[in-house]
Structure 1
Amino acid sequence: PSEEKKSDLDDFINYAKVIVGMLGHKVFEPLISTKIQVASENIEFYCTKRSANAVGVRTADGFVVKSGSLITSSLTDKCPEHIKRKRDEYKNKIDQNYKLIEDILFNTPSGAACFVSGASLNGLIEWKTKEGKNIKDIDAELSSAR
């Protein structure tokens, strides 16, 4: 499977853990842990692939690409079809310079990374903090700290 599909599956598992936890079930959580923490919420992440210069944040609802972010003007041949549809769906939120004029919510960091870059990317790796840490590394640090 492609890197994007692997990332989407990782995202699906992470969101399943959050949803099941919100329902009060401790199926995926260690019994010792008593608190569910939304990893990396309110930390700003940056994606600069293929001339994109986008800023995003993780929320309980997904991943938000912030207004003012610059996205690429062109799409690669490997850009997923659903991303091409998203670009068309949100064309009224993108100005003539390919700058977002509104925040846009995505289900996953990978969907957001593909949207801003016009390519197939793993958002867990491509979205990074100012210090260069990606979402995958931050999640691993938070998991090991529990």
Structure 2
Amino acid sequence: MATGVLYVMSTVVPGLIKIGKTATDRFDDRMYVLEHNGYNNVTGLKRKFAIEVEDYDEKERMLDDIFAKARVPGSELFALDLDLAIELLSSFEGRQIFPEPTQESKQQVFDVAVRNHTEFTAVQSIPDGVYFLSRKRPPLDVEMTVENGALTIRTGQHVAGNDSPSLDKTARALRRDNIDVHGVVRNDVRFSSPSQAAAFVTGSSSNGWTQWKTKDGKPIAQFRAHDD
């Protein structure tokens, strides 16, 4: 059985990913080519997870069969949740190639992918529309647009001007890159979860499922599926 690498890459298009294979000794070169000129650089490919497995040709065919309905014809691109693909690849027996195990172990990658996929699935249950986060002190009144599972805060809105020490680095970077010195959002910003959007608005760790509300004041947690 031949040994090789299965990998998954993100693109600049949310919900569009690449799944592929390569020889172990060609992995770095393959990633370099794809990240610098894959699909003529239109899709902005970025490596997200890679694992060395036995019988990698057969395992890639299995992945192609599983995700056949999501495949973009004539390509290795799939209209698929990135974390679902990572969850499946990281469940294979094999040696993790990327990220390096010293940064994140295979179990950590799997756990994060499961958590993110669960959140992704929950987000799809939020009906299209506009939702609101408001508070009196300090005053905030921000709208979040949901369309086809995409959560967006539009440019021109006022959000909290200061970051709390509890804010995670992802939300901190989003705020730094998209909010001006007056607390005004400079660009439309998309989010992977309501809590990430709420943290962006408030400058602190937040449960967006309870903070974002419908026009009649009901938390969007009402749309989230619960176990019986």
TM-score of the superposition, structure 2-length normalised? 0.43
Q: Which residue number corresponds to residue 33 of structure 1?
A: none
Deviation sequence 1:96-134 (CA, Å, 0-9, x none): 431224321111111110001000001111101121111
Instruction: Using CA pairs under 8 Å that are at least 6 residues apart, name the structure with larger relative contact order, 1 or 2.
Output: 1
Q: Which residue number corresponds to residue 39 of structure 1?
A: 125
| Greater Cα offset, 43-52 or 122-131 | 43-52
The 2-side partners of 1:83 and 1:140 are apart by 25
What is the Cα deviation at residue 15 of structure 1? Answer: 1.9
Q: Which residue number corresponds to residue 123 of structure 1?
A: 208
What SS does the corresponding residue of 1:97 show, helix, strand or coil? Answer: coil
The residue type equivalent to 1:123 in the other structure is G
More strand by share: 2
What SS does the corresponding residue of 2:224 show, helix, strand or coil? Answer: helix
What SS does the corresponding residue of 1:129 show, helix, strand or coil? Answer: coil
2:198 to 103, 107, 113: 113
What is the Cα deviation at residue 17 of structure 1? Answer: 7.4
Q: Which residue number corresponds to residue 152 of structure 2?
A: 64
The residue type equivalent to 2:155 in the other structure is S
The residue type equivalent to 2:203 in the other structure is G
Mark the runs of 5 or more structure 2 residues left unpaired by the alignment: 1-114
User: 1:1-146 to 2 correspondence within 5 Å?
Assistant: 9=115, 12-16=117-121, 38-49=124-135, 50-90=138-178, 94-140=179-225
Deviation sequence 1:32-87 (CA, Å, 0-9, x none): xxxxxx43332211112453321002233531112232110011121112211111
Contact 2:126 2:149 in 1 (8 A): no
The 2-side partners of 1:77 and 1:17 are apart by 28
Cα RMSD of the aligned pairs, angstroms, is 3.0
The residue type equivalent to 1:76 in the other structure is S
Number of residue pairs the alignment of both structures matches: 113
Alpha carbons of structure 1 residues 12 and 122: separation in structure 2 relative to 1, 3 Å: farther
TM-score of the superposition, structure 1-length normalised? 0.63
Rg (Cα) greater in structure: 2
What SS does the corresponding residue of 1:82 show, helix, strand or coil? Answer: helix
The residue type equivalent to 2:141 in the other structure is N
What is the aligned-residue identity percentage? 22
What SS does the corresponding residue of 1:48 show, helix, strand or coil? Answer: strand
The residue type equivalent to 1:117 in the other structure is T
The 2-side partners of 1:13 and 1:83 are apart by 20
What SS does the corresponding residue of 1:55 show, helix, strand or coil? Answer: strand
The 1-side partners of 2:122 and 2:217 are apart by 26
The 1-side partners of 2:129 and 2:207 are apart by 18
